[in-house]
């Protein structure tokens, strides 16, 4: 995960986009916007702490889901192995090689387990758990969101205003 979703609470994410194809001028401009976004975040320590804690909670819940899935499939690993290895594997899953990191995240987790010398009882159980994580933690929420996306598209096609209601007095 390159960016924590909780950073969206700052309204910072749009300012973090840097177009590297445009040459030095665009890169310099993008870096200035990035520095401005970081300054904005640091100027609001309460919101920064909230974003950090929200992100930490999300990672802990993701690791807990993997821990439970590993137990369901019969491969119990120590907590520290999951807490150390799963975020790195998820980061590997962000490489633009496959759809939603399928395969890269799973293979990276197996490599990290070997590197940490934490031999699972079954590699098949680990792969089943990581694919279960993808199904429950990613694909399920995509399926839940599709009706809302379609509804939004229908409203947009009708010209219906989308967003919070205006506060007319």
For 61-93, the pLDDT digits (tens) are: 999 999 999 999 998 899 999 999 999 999 998
3-state class (DSSP) for residue 166: coil
Could you give the residue ranges of the DSSP H alpha helices within 73-103? 79-92
The answer to whether residue 49 sits within a structural domain is no
Calculate the alpha carbon distances from 74 to 77, 79, 94, 127 in Å.
10, 15, 27, 11
User: Does residue 6 register a pLDDT over 70?
Assistant: no
Dist. CA 104–CA 92, nearest whole Å: 6
Say whether both 32 and 92 belong to one domain.
no
Whether residues 83 and 3 fall in one domain: no
* pLDDT for the residue numbered 12: 46
Q: Which residue range is the domain that position 146 belongs to?
A: 62-157
Smallest CA-to-CA distance from 70 within 154, 126, 10, 135 is with 126
Q: Which tokens hold the place of 98?
A: 């496959």
165 inside domain = no
Shared-domain flag, residues 39 and 66: no
Residue 13 binned pLDDT confidence (cut-offs 50, 70, 90) = very low
142-164 residue pLDDT tens: 999 999 888 888 878 888 777 77
Cα–Cα distance measured from residue 5 to residue 102, given in angstroms and rounded to the nearest whole number: 20
Residue 169 in this model has a pLDDT that exceeds 70: no
Mean of the pLDDT values across residues 94-108?
Answer: 85
Indicate whether 19 and 75 sit together in one domain. no
In a domain, 48, yes or no: no
Burial class (CB in 10 A: 0-12, 13-18, 19+), 104: middle
CB atoms within 10 A of CB 59: 16
The pTM of the full predicted model, rounded to 2 decimals, is 0.68
Are 30 and 82 in the same domain? Answer: no
Phi-psi region of 124 (alpha: psi -120 to 50; beta: other; left: phi over 0): alpha
**Mean pLDDT value across residues 35-46:** 90
Residue corresponding to tokens 């993997």: 66
**Tell me, what DSSP letter sits at residue 95?**
S
Rg of the chain in Å (alpha carbons): 20
* Whole-number pLDDT of residue 23: 53
- Can you tell me the distance from the alpha carbon of 15 to that of 165, in angstroms, rounded to the nearest whole number? 26
54 is a domain residue: no
């Amino acid at each position: 995960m390159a960016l924590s979703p909780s950073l969206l609470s700052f309204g910072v994410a749009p300012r973090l986009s840097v177009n590297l194809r445009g040459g030095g001028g665009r890169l310099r401009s993008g870096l200035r916007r990035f520095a401005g976004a970081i300054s904005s975040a640091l100027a609001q320590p309460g919101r920064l702490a909230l974003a950090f804690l929200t992100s930490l909670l999300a990672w802990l819940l993701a690791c807990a889901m993997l821990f439970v899935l590993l137990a369901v499939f019969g491969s119990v690993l120590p907590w520290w192995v999951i807490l150390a290895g799963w975020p790195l594997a998820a980061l590997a899953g962000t490489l633009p090689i496959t759809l939603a990191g399928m395969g890269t995240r799973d293979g990276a987790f197996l490599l990290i387990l070997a590197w940490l010398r934490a031999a699972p009882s079954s590699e098949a159980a680990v792969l089943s758990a990581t694919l279960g994580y993808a199904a429950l933690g990613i694909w399920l929420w995509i399926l839940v969101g599709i009706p809302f996306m379609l509804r939004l598209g229908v409203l947009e096609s009708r010209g219906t205003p989308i967003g919070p209601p205006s506060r007319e007095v």
